[in-house]
Amino acid sequence: MSKQESWTSAGSDDPRLACPITPVVDIVFSRWTTPILWTLHREGRMRFVELQRHIGTVTPKVLTQRLRQLERDGLVLRTYHPEVPPRVEYEISELGRSLAPLFAKLAEWSADHLDSVETARLAYDGGTLP
Amino acid sequence: MSKQESWTSAGSDDPRLACPITPVVDIVFSRWTTPILWTLHREGRMRFVELQRHIGTVTPKVLTQRLRQLERDGLVLRTYHPEVPPRVEYEISELGRSLAPLFAKLAEWSADHLDSVETARLAYDGGTLP
DNA sequence: CAGGATCCACTTGGATACTG
DNA sequence: CAGTATCCAAGTGGATCCTG
């Protein structure tokens, strides 16, 4: 396999789409989406405030926005129980679960190379502002 | 393998770190970073304006900011040639190349599931505002 | 050519208060 | 409880001009 073909098999010269994975990044790696998906995957079905507490510092407004987007993209399922007080549960969908190997790869790269990034940063900062 | 352990082997209950892959996402999936890395990987060493033209609509200021960040994180190498006119070349580093399988996984997921996302969006939009 | 400097428009996200 | 509505601070990206 040539080094030119290791990431993509078909070469597109369209300057407007220099990176074919941009749409996926927009869907999966928007802010707060990875903590949400990660938590829902690990902890299973969960209520709104539970989710909020697990993630930490996230305001209800923003959490709602992200959950709506994830629901629209089919990565998260929302179940509304018409009771008093109302109860809403969120869970990861099958499509969301299909991201598992991807996230595993990400965690793997993190474990293998995150310290290299830290080293590079220290070298850069030390070399530019001593 | 239980479904609780498929993404992470050790369970952390620290609410401040609900998602262990957040740092990687910040490093690799900041805005413009994937087009930059993708282009540099596919096209090889490249000058500033070349890179700018390949990516499309990106202002020099922002491109410089992202390149500085990628250089600091050790993902991109910058070579300055003191000539007139000055010539600067950017290329992907070894650490940057180590992202290749990750990006491949991303492209794979994209090819397999992006249409499902589109379908989910159409269903969601059709069901909420008919 | 490769940016740095400056100014500005817009978007995001947080804080707060309120509702069904 | 599960949001929505409103206001507001901050960060971000674009446009323009300028330099070595």
B 40-69, residues with C-beta < 7 Å of strand C: 47-50, 60-61, 64, 67-68
B32 vs B7, which has greater pLDDT? B32
Q: How is residue A127 written in tokens?
A: 């070399």
Phi-psi category of A44—alpha, beta or left, where left has phi over 0 and alpha has psi -120 to 50? left
pLDDT digits (tens, 9 = 90+) for A57-84: 899 999 999 999 999 999 999 999 988 8
Work out the average pLDDT over B41-69.
Answer: 93
Neighbours of A90 (CB within 10 A): 21
Provide the terminal-to-terminal Cα distance of chain B, rounded to the nearest Å. 43
Task: Write the single-letter amino acid at A72.
Answer: R
More confident residue, A130 or B23: B23
pLDDT tens, B75-121?
Answer: 999 999 998 889 999 999 999 999 999 999 999 999 999 999 999 99
Report the distance separating Cα B86 and Cα A19, nearest Å: 28
Q: Please check the confidence at residue B1 and state whether its pLDDT lies above 60.
A: no
Report the DSSP beta bridge partners of residue A46.
A90
The distance of Cα A109 from the centroid of its chain, to the nearest Å, equals 15
Local confidence band at A129 (pLDDT 50, 70, 90 cut-offs): low
DSSP symbols for A50-73: HHHHHH-S--HHHHHHHHHHHHHT
Instruction: Compute the average pLDDT of residues B46-68.
Output: 93
Q: What's the CA–C1' distance between B34 and D1, in Å? A: 40
Q: Is B50 touching A (CB cutoff 8 A)?
A: no
Quick check: A6 pLDDT over 70? Answer: no
User: Would you say B111 and B103 are in contact if contact means Cβ atoms under 8 Å apart?
Assistant: no
Instruction: Name residues 31-90 of chain B with a Cβ under 7 Å from nucleic strand D.
Output: 31-32, 57-62, 65, 85-86
Q: B100: which 2 tokens?
A: 């290749």
